[in-house]
Structure 1
Amino acid sequence: MSREEEYEARAGLRGGFERGTDGPKVILAGVDGSDTSWRAAAYAAGLARRQHALLAVVYVQPLLAGTAALGIPVTDTTEEVAEEVLGEIRATAERLRGVHEVRWEFHTFRGDPYTGLVRLADELKADAVVVGASERAGHRIVGSVAVRLVKAGRWPVTVVP
């Protein structure tokens, strides 16, 4: 094997997907309805617009076991939040139509937010992941989704305050 072939093999440049060669093609933004997640989505939209990349906005509907035990319909609650998030994204996209054009798509499903973001980033071959900093005090101790994504080290991750 030549030196060049060895380099290409080690760098993962042969016969497959290569990240970061011609700028990002897909930027994934995780939203949950919090102020920081909306700022993250706006930041990601700006990146996507400037880079002519696809903006994939994702809301992972958390599994709320505690509310289910209390008899509160979890499915209805998380579906309502998903609809609100989608409505806000559509309204913003419509307001900016003709001024800032961004190709975007919305994904939502149930599950653990970290696992869902990882799965979708892998599925879409995301070049970057943008999330908002956690607003919950307990996450400083246990760790937030943002921290877990950074520690995974699989994509460039931007955490927006």
Structure 2
Amino acid sequence: MGPAVSDSLTAVTEQQHSQGFERGTDGPKVIVVGVDGSDSSLRAAAYAGGLARRQHALLAVVYVQPMLAGGAALGAPVADTTDAIAEDLVAQIRHATEQTRGIFDVRWEFHTFRGDPYNGLVKAADDLKADAVVVGASEQAGHRIVGSVAVRLVKAGRWPVTVVP
């Protein structure tokens, strides 16, 4: 290594120390996980919960309530149904939190957004200033051809995205 390279490495090292880098303290501070009640989304929530616990991060659990214009036009109680799903998800999370209190403590919040799942998760991640996004793999066969929410989030390239099978 020549003197110029050595001097450059020393300057970079000194700059990192002056910025206050400390081993073990960097990493995600807000982890967004998308849930919809499916098995894969609940596995994603469990994975994200473990990640949040290890990183001492806030776990933002997000349910995107679909806006089904066709169902609403036919008089279907869409909002009531999606509200019931959201309430059930919160109850499941609270139950799991109570069962693991003292063993597996995680700071978490529950958020609902309206819209299609992709745009809802993008809005949630932006609004909550997410450092990472975790989603379950799609369980619908057609998504392998057209593309799933997970694939679209990865392609957006705005956050690290973990897809849990």
TM-score (norm 2): 0.82
Answer yes or no: is 1:52 the counterpart of 2:47.
Answer: no
What SS does the corresponding residue of 1:23 show, helix, strand or coil?
coil
Question: What is the aligned partner in structure 2 of residue 85 from structure 1?
Answer: 89
Question: What is the aligned partner in structure 2 of residue 145 from structure 1?
Answer: 149
Larger Rg: 2
Q: Given that residues 49 and 59 in structure 2 are in contact (C-alpha distance below 8 angstroms), is that contact kept between their aligned partners in structure 1?
A: yes
1:119 positional shift:
1.1
What SS does the corresponding residue of 2:104 show, helix, strand or coil?
coil
Answer yes or no: is 1:63 the counterpart of 2:67.
Answer: yes
For these two proteins, the number of residue pairs brought into alignment is: 143
What SS does the corresponding residue of 2:144 show, helix, strand or coil?
helix
| Distance in structure 1 (CA, Å) of the matches to 2:44 and 2:157 | 19
Give 2:155's aligned amino acid. Answer: K
| Distance in structure 1 (CA, Å) of the matches to 2:83 and 2:113 | 9
Give 2:116's aligned amino acid. Answer: D
Question: What is the aligned partner in structure 2 of residue 155 from structure 1?
Answer: 159
TM-score (norm 1): 0.84
What SS does the corresponding residue of 2:93 show, helix, strand or coil?
helix
Give 2:85's aligned amino acid. Answer: V
Answer yes or no: is 1:22 the counterpart of 2:22.
Answer: no
- C-alpha RMSD of the superposition: 1.6
* Per-residue CA distance 1:8-65 (angstroms, 9 max, x = gap): xxxxxxxxxxxxx811101110001000000000000000000000000000001123
Question: What is the aligned partner in structure 2 of residue 39 from structure 1?
Answer: 43
1:125 positional shift:
1.4
Answer yes or no: is 1:100 the counterpart of 2:104.
Answer: yes
Question: What is the aligned partner in structure 1 of residue 136 from structure 2?
Answer: 132
Q: Given that residues 113 and 124 in structure 2 are in contact (C-alpha distance below 8 angstroms), is that contact kept between their aligned partners in structure 1?
A: no
Gaps of 5+ in 2: 1-24
1:126 positional shift:
0.8
| Distance in structure 1 (CA, Å) of the matches to 2:132 and 2:113 | 20
Q: Runs in 1 of length 4+ with deviation above 3 angstroms?
A: none
| Distance in structure 1 (CA, Å) of the matches to 2:127 and 2:107 | 18
Question: What is the aligned partner in structure 2 of residue 75 from structure 1?
Answer: 79
Q: Percent identity?
A: 79
What SS does the corresponding residue of 2:152 show, helix, strand or coil?
helix
